[in-house]
Amino acid sequence: MPVTSTSQRVIVIGAGPVGLCLSLALAEEGVPVTVIEALGDDNFLEQVPRAGTNHPATLEMYDRIGLYHKLEPRGIIAPVFHYWDRAANALIAAFDLSHLKGDTRFPYVLQCERIKIVEEALKMAKAHPAIDMRLSTSFTGFEQSGSGVVAHIVNPSGEVETISGDYLVSAEGARSIVRKDLGIEFEGFTYSDLTLNIEVAYDFRRHGYAERNYISDPTEWSNLFHWKGPPDRWRVHFPVDPSEDQEAICRPQALQARLQRFLATGRDFDIVASNLYTVHQRVAKKFRVGRAILAGDAAHVNSPIGAMGMNSGVHDAFNLADKLIQILRGRQGEEILDRYERQRRHVAIAHTQAQTSRNKRLLAEKDPAVRKRNQDELRRAAEDPALARAFLLRASLIESLREAERIA
């Protein structure tokens, strides 16, 4: 039964993957949504490269809102990923998501960048009659009472406006104004090293790499991922010392030298872009206060090693959408939003944070004995179908969703 009353509006701040998935999931059930997004048509597609690996459970969710079939042609279906040892130039383990055939309709990841996801989802949201999409509009603050919320925005003409709704969802990303206004602590830490991302038009598969590779090294670990073009690009991540001159790190010659140290081809790489970013491991102490709710990066941020940030944010969006729909239909009381917090905060801490921290330690481990033990374990897990399935259920976040379902 769709929600019909137009007064039952949800205000979503941010048209990132989380805000757009949430809005589409709500709108599909007839819930009116207003989306506030600071970027406009003129600069929406100019966002820096970020997430791009979409895990099986996330693909199922995209499918539910009709987004998957728009993304598949723009991405790369990748069932296999690799762990390598850089110094030995050796493949340690190849994991095949086909082991999850009985667990998901999508036993692979889709390598499809965040920018393509938000581009397609934005088109769908703009066309949806239940979604009021406000681009070039900045959210500045809000108030709430027992019966609703009022959001303050600055519209494209620079005028201050207010809009009211039943609930306000902060899908604004890591710098969430809602989280700060509510005084919610963002607990955790920031890694001291920076991550350098270089985008290269070069086919690394000719050296035996898969579409997705995690490469361990005690001094310079890396990640190597393939993205669909044209032209096809590969993203290579390296850790860098924050005391180094950042401008010097990103000079073309320095990037070429770093890439040649990684893989000596004797020819310059075709570098498409590069950027440096800081990595945080943080989870908000609360995911909701009254009618204001946090989702995605507003609620938790983590290292991209393992591709869990955007995926777990999209999982927040669908969990929350289902609960808001039940509340707005009058079938459940507002207290089910506490279950959203219990479920998704548990996943953020026990799965996303735990696994991404472990992934980083695994790649950067300096102790040779520990490195050997880790690599032996990975090899054993990849070669044994039952162990591989258990490993992949965790790595693809399916286990996190199953565990969340068991939380009352």
Ligand X SMILES: Cc1cc2nc3c(=O)[nH]c(=O)nc-3n(C[C@H](O)[C@H](O)[C@H](O)COP(=O)(O)OP(=O)(O)OC[C@H]3O[C@@H](n4cnc5c(N)ncnc54)[C@H](O)[C@@H]3O)c2cc1C
Instruction: Say which residue the tokens 């709704």 belong to.
Output: 165
In this chain, which stretch among 12-20, 67-75, 318-326, 398-406 interacts with ligand X, using CB under 6 A? 12-20
Nearest CB to ligand X, comparing residues 3 and 61: 61
Angle at which helices 17-28 and 114-127 pack, to 10 degrees?
A: 30
Max CA-CA distance within the chain? Answer: 66
| Alpha helices by DSSP H, 128-164 | none
Size of the site for ligand X (CB under 6 A): 33
Query: Toward ligand X, which CB reaches closer, 194 or 387?
Result: 194
The nearest distance, CB 52 to ligand X, in angstroms, is 5
Does 18 interact with ligand X (rule: CB under 6 A)? yes
CB of 33 to ligand X, least distance (A): 14
Region for residue 360 given its phi and psi (left: phi exceeds 0; alpha: psi -120 to 50; beta: otherwise)? alpha
Q: Which amino acid is it at 262?
A: F
Beta carbon of residue 9, minimum distance to ligand X (angstroms, whole number): 17
Report which residue type is found at 293. I
Which positions from 30 through 49 interact with ligand X, judged by CB under 6 A? 36-39
188 binds ligand X (CB under 6 A): no
Instruction: Figure out which of the listed residues 114, 179, 228, 288 binds ligand X, where binding follows CB under 6 A.
Output: 114
Q: Which of residues 165-184 bind ligand X (CB under 6 A)?
A: 171-173, 177
Query: CB-wise, 3 or 51, nearer to ligand X?
Result: 51
3-state secondary structure 24-70: HHHHHCCCCEEEECCCCCCCHHHCCCCCCEECHHHHHHHHHCCCHHH
The DSSP string of 176-189 is -HHHHHTT--EEEE
Handedness of CA 176, 181, 184, 189 (dihedral sign): positive
Q: Is 75 in the site for ligand X (CB under 6 A)?
A: no
Q: Which helix (H) or strand (E) holds 378?
A: helix 368-383
Among 12, 15, 121, 124, the residue binding ligand X under the rule CB under 6 A is: 15
Q: How far apart are CA 43 and CA 235, in angstroms?
A: 22
Of positions 288, 296, 327, 388, contacts ligand X by CB under 6 A: 296
* Nearest residue to 143 (alpha-carbon basis) of 153, 151, 154: 151
Contact between 351 and 401 (Cβ < 8 Å): no
Residues 201-220 that bind ligand X (CB under 6 A): none
**Nearest approach, Cβ of residue 114 and ligand X (Å):** 5
Position among 98, 188, 240, 277 found at the interface with ligand X (CB under 6 A): 277
* Selected binder of ligand X within 3, 11, 12, 51 (CB under 6 A): 51
Q: Which is nearer to ligand X, 144 or 155 (CB)?
A: 155
Closer residue to ligand X (CB): 156 or 231 = 156
**13, 295, 296 from 311: Cα distances, Å:** 18, 12, 9
Is 142 within 8 Å of 340 (Cβ atoms)? no
Site residues, ligand X (CB under 6 A): 13-19, 36-39, 50-53, 114, 138-139, 171-173, 177, 197, 277, 296-297, 304, 307-311, 313
